[in-house]
Structures are given as C-alpha cells and as structure tokens.
Amino acid sequence: MNLLDKIHKQAKKNPKRIVFPESSEERILKACDKILKKGIAKVILLGNKNKILNKAKKLNLNIKKARIIDHLKSKTYTNELVKLRKSKGMTIKKAKELLKDENYFGTMMVHMNHADGLISGAIHTTADTVLPALQIIKTKEEFHRVSGLFLMLIKDKVYLFADCAININPDAKTLAEIAIDSEKTAKRFGIRPRIAMLSFSSHGSGDHKILDKIRNAVKIVQKKEPKLKIDGELQVDAALDPEVCKIKAPNSKLKGNANVLIFPDLNVGNISYKLVERLGNAEAIGPILQGLQKPINDLSRGCKVKDIVNLAAITVVEAQK
C-alpha cells in the first residue's frame, strides 16, 4: 500500500468536516463528488445553495450529502471577528464586510470549531488563503512562521519539499523552523524524516556569505532538536545519491538518502517542485500549510481534481491529530 492509499484509508476511519470556500469552481465540485463517494471527508460548501446544486446537476455530480451555507446571508461570526481583531481596529461594519469574503467566513468556521479544516486556492492566490488564517487561526507559537510543504510522489518514493509557497527569503531562524515543522509533518504521515538543507555547496565546497544562513539554520535545528536527522549545506545530488554523497560529503549522516528537502529560498523551492512535477512526472500534493494551530491548506491554481481529493484526505488526517 502506497502513502496516498494509507492517507485515504486513515481519513475514512474518522472523516472530518472540511470547508471549501470556492463552490463556484468546477474542479472543486467534481472533487467534492469524489470525496463524498469515497467517504474521505464531510464536505461543507459556501455559496448560494440553488446555484451550487444546479451547477452540480449540469455536471452530473452528486453532492447531496454536502452541507451548503450561504455566507452572504449569515451574520453568525460578526461579533467574534470583532472580538478577535478589535486591537487591530475591527468594527462591526468592517467585520460584516470582511465576512462576505468566503475565505474569511470559512476560516471563522474553523476557528469556531464549526469545521475541522479548510481548503482553498483553486481560484484564489496563496495570500488570499493564508492571510485570514494568520489573522484568525494564528500560528502555533507567537512569531512562528507559516511555510508551505509539498508531498512529492515520484514513482515508488515519497519526498517532502519545503518551503515552496510562503517565505520569499527566509533567514536562518525561519529555515530552522521550516525544517522542524517538516519533520513533524513527515512523522504525521508515517514517514521517517531525513532532512537535507540544500544549497549550491556541499560541506564547505563553496565560499559565500549566502551560505551562512543555511549553516546557521542547521546549528539552530541541532540545538533545538538534537535527535533530528539533518545535514547541510548539501547539493541536491549529494543529498539524494549515495555514490555522489561519498565523493562530495563523505561524512554526511544522510549518506545520500534524504527524503525531506529544505530549499534556501522561495525562488528555488517553487521552481524545483514544479520542474520535478512537470518534467519528472511526479505527483505534487499541497501546499500543506505548516505552523498553524488548525489545518488550513492551499491549492495550486493549476491543480487537478485528484489533487483536491488528495489534499482533502491529508487535511482530514491533520484534523484527526
């Protein structure tokens, strides 16, 4: 049984309530049809009930088991949003206006435990999904940075790529947080993490001040989590190929068998996951947003229906924990 099969099986054991704000999107409705048939999650859709059901009918989809909430007619969360954001100048008027945004309304549902997780991003930007989460759900610790991880399924192997979605130029502390959060994500899905902090240099083969943050990040991780299996800086071939590792980094504890790859900045991370996905025929699932108190996950706007279904299963498993 591969990793995705295991995740789907785990999700079915205790399906959670997942809210999908983007009910106008055809791919979302098609995915919800499959999610409900598979019994992976309890689906909540936001929008006009008649419009959603009529669109589903035209597409020959069965989403009758989905709960549909017209967020434009609801005043449920106004007072709570004012309470949460009063120190930031939130008023009743501003809250009412903000809750017309389906991402804000859905995020408030998760905050109030009226939903267990949220998935958005098929037609919204990452910022549209992340900002409400940061303002309402918030991070696990104050000043902790949220990061975006992809599960990369390449033939019969699974790799974790981070950060590929959020932090443009993370400093050493943020890189360390990304590595530690990625280790926790790996373990949540039954993967034994072996973390490589990637660069253009392996164990000092390069000499540039840009490498200092990677080396410092490794030191921070080793101090905070001494049992965590991590090495860097490493070139990607030394991280993944045992024979190359013997030549470039003979003392590496990873021995060329890394399965969690931490990229030095967003340029590298985003380009790399898309290259591997498109040219390497890999399946990219995510981004899974790490560091939040509750599961809010983002979709790539180029996502396929199966990507949404898989991310739903992942979000359910996160909510189960």
Q: At 138, is the pLDDT very low, low, confident or very high (cuts 50, 70, 90)?
A: confident
* Claim to verify: residue 207 and residue 262 sit in the same structural domain: yes
Report the alpha-carbon angle 62-16-73, nearest 5.
Answer: 65
CA distance 214 to 202: 11
CA-nearest of 162, 196, 168, 199 to 182 is 162
Report the alpha-carbon angle 216-221-222, nearest 5.
Answer: 95
Domain that holds residue 222: 143-291
Q: How many CB atoms lie within 10 A of CB 111?
A: 22
Q: What is the mean pLDDT of the chain?
A: 92
Q: At 183, is the pLDDT very low, low, confident or very high (cuts 50, 70, 90)?
A: very high
Report the alpha-carbon angle 160-178-147, nearest 5.
Answer: 85
What are the tokens at 234?
């490493």
Per-residue pLDDT reduced to its tens digit, 234-285: 999 999 999 999 999 999 999 999 999 999 999 999 999 999 999 988 988 8
Lowest mean pLDDT among 142-146, 149-153, 185-189, 211-215: 142-146
* Claim to verify: residue 122 and residue 218 sit in the same structural domain: no
CA distance 262 to 111: 30
CA-nearest of 46, 25, 28 to 100 is 46
* Claim to verify: residue 287 and residue 147 sit in the same structural domain: yes
* Claim to verify: residue 101 and residue 15 sit in the same structural domain: yes
Q: How many CB atoms lie within 10 A of CB 3?
A: 16
Q: At 73, is the pLDDT very low, low, confident or very high (cuts 50, 70, 90)?
A: confident
Looking up residue 279, the CATH number of its domain turns out to be 3.40.50.10750
* Helix (H/G/I), strand (E/B), else coil: 81: helix
Please give the tally of structural domains in the chain. 2
What are the tokens at 257?
């068998």
Quick one: average pLDDT of 13-30? 95
CA distance 1 to 159: 16
Report the alpha-carbon angle 277-279-284, nearest 5.
Answer: 5
33 and 56 Cβ atoms separated by less than 8 Å: yes
**Residue 251 confidence (pLDDT):** 92
* Claim to verify: residue 161 and residue 260 sit in the same structural domain: yes
Q: How many CB atoms lie within 10 A of CB 266?
A: 18
* Claim to verify: residue 11 and residue 124 sit in the same structural domain: yes
Residue 127 pLDDT exceeds 80? yes
Report the DSSP pairing between strands 283-290 and 147-154: antiparallel
* Claim to verify: residue 252 and residue 164 sit in the same structural domain: yes
Residue 141 pLDDT exceeds 80? no
Q: How many CB atoms lie within 10 A of CB 6?
A: 14
* Claim to verify: residue 116 and residue 153 sit in the same structural domain: no
Burial-class residue 251 by CB neighbours within 10 Å (0-12, 13-18, 19+).
exposed
**Residue 55 confidence (pLDDT):** 93
**Helix extents (H) in 165-280:** 172-188, 212-224, 236-240, 242-248, 266-279
Q: At 303, is the pLDDT very low, low, confident or very high (cuts 50, 70, 90)?
A: confident
* Claim to verify: residue 105 and residue 163 sit in the same structural domain: no
* Helix (H/G/I), strand (E/B), else coil: 173: helix
* Claim to verify: residue 248 and residue 317 sit in the same structural domain: no
Looking up residue 94, the CATH number of its domain turns out to be 3.40.50.10950
Q: At 36, is the pLDDT very low, low, confident or very high (cuts 50, 70, 90)?
A: very high
Q: At 1, is the pLDDT very low, low, confident or very high (cuts 50, 70, 90)?
A: low
Beta bridge partners of 60: none
* Claim to verify: residue 64 and residue 133 sit in the same structural domain: yes
* Claim to verify: residue 151 and residue 282 sit in the same structural domain: yes
